[in-house]
């Protein structure tokens, strides 16, 4: 293996990190159409990939090099000339292509609306799919700023697909969403205030064999992860979140799928380096 250009998201010369042999395929998706406050999510995938090339491959906690399971990164999706609907369709098609190869798709955003087509694609292969949504916001509005495709509506689209949903870390919720929740027993929410008080019980038992994780980085406390479009006071810290996710992964029986959103800051690089190490675990 030529380690000069190896990253935590794949090694160009490694036999287990190519398109045909990888177990995990990263789909960089620089989506940015419905961002309503701070822009920059379109730069997230490239920034994360760049930072990953400057980090060591060995993980002292796991005692191994995680990329050795086989990680391949596809070329960054090109949304040039596409409207929001077309870009979402292209994202879903990319996820289907990875699934057709029997690989685990990891969609690296990009704004959070990319999760809806990715989840829909996975659902076609795994009808018993459940979704874990880790976020500061509920994202359960029917529409936001005139569009049902908004990043603020993605989990409503999941509910529309009759997929059981578990939301974790929520601390920003609209009256519309609160009213909607009254009639939705298939949606469970673990609130941020419950987690902060140490009184949260995460109902992992609600999840099935196949689970999609959609992660918005504003779930993390903005003091630790400020590079997001809509930061919310409070939230979990990276170490605590990592521990919770490890418990989840160890309890599940099958692979998981993940997407995330990130808006890098040019003047502050530290948040970027937090991501490759954490997500490759």
Residue 252 pLDDT:
47
d(CA 273, CA 34): 26
Q: From the annotation, which residues make up the binding site for Mn(2+)?
A: 112, 135, 137, 139, 216, 218
Which pLDDT tens digit goes with each residue over 14-67? 677 888 888 989 999 998 887 766 666 788 888 888 888 878 888 888 888 888
Please give the Cα distance from 152 to 51 (Å, whole number): 28
Residue with tokens 């997407």: 259
Residues 166 and 214 sit within 8 Å (Cβ to Cβ) = no
Give first-to-last CA distance, the chain, whole Å. 21
DSSP tag of 76: P
The model's confidence at residue 254, banded by pLDDT at 50, 70 and 90, is very low
**Which string of DSSP letters, residue by residue, matches 149-167?**
TSGGGHHHHHHHTT--EEE
Are the C-beta atoms of residues 195 and 216 closer than 8 Å to each other? Answer: no
Looking at the structure, give the CATH architecture of the domain made up of residues 3-280.
3-Layer(aba) Sandwich (3.40)
Classify 139 as helix, strand or coil.
coil
**pLDDT for 216:** 84
**Annotated binding-site members:** 112, 135, 137, 139, 216, 218
Distance (Å, whole) CA 90 – CA 69: 27
Could you tell me the sign of the dihedral formed by the alpha carbons of 63, 65, 68, 71, in that order? positive
Query: 38 Cβ partners below 8 Å, 6+ apart?
Result: 228, 229, 230, 263
């Amino acid at each position: 293996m030529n380690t000069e250009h190896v990253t935590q998201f794949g090694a160009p010369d490694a036999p287990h990190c190519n398109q045909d042999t990888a177990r995990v395929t990263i789909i960089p998706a620089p989506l940015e159409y419905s961002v309503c406050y701070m822009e920059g999510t379109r730069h997230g995938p490239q920034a994360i990939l760049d930072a990953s090339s400057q980090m060591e491959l060995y993980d002292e906690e796991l005692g191994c090099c995680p990329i050795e399971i086989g990680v391949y990164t596809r070329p960054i999706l090109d949304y040039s000339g596409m409207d929001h609907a077309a870009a979402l369709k292209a994202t879903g098609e990319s996820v289907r292509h990875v699934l057709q190869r029997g690989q685990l798709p990891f969609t690296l955003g990009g704004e959070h609306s990319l999760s809806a087509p990715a989840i829909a694609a996975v659902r076609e292969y795994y009808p018993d799919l459940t979704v874990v949504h880790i976020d500061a916001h509920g994202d359960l509005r029917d529409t936001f700023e005139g569009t049902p495709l908004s990043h603020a509506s993605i989990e409503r689209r999941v509910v529309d697909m009759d997929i059981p949903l578990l939301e974790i870390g929520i601390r920003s919720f609209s009256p519309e969403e609160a009213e909607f929740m009254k009639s939705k027993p298939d949606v469970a929410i673990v609130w941020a205030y419950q987690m902060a008080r140490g009184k949260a019980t995460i109902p992992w038992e609600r999840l099935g064999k196949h689970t999609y994780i959609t992660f918005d980085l504003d779930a993390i406390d903005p003091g630790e992860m400020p590079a997001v479009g809509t930061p919310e006071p409070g939230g979990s810290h990276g170490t605590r979140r990592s521990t919770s996710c490890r418990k989840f992964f160890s309890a599940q029986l099958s692979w998981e799928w993940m997407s995330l959103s990130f808006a890098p800051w040019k003047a502050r690089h530290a948040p970027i380096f937090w991501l490759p190490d954490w997500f490759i675990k």
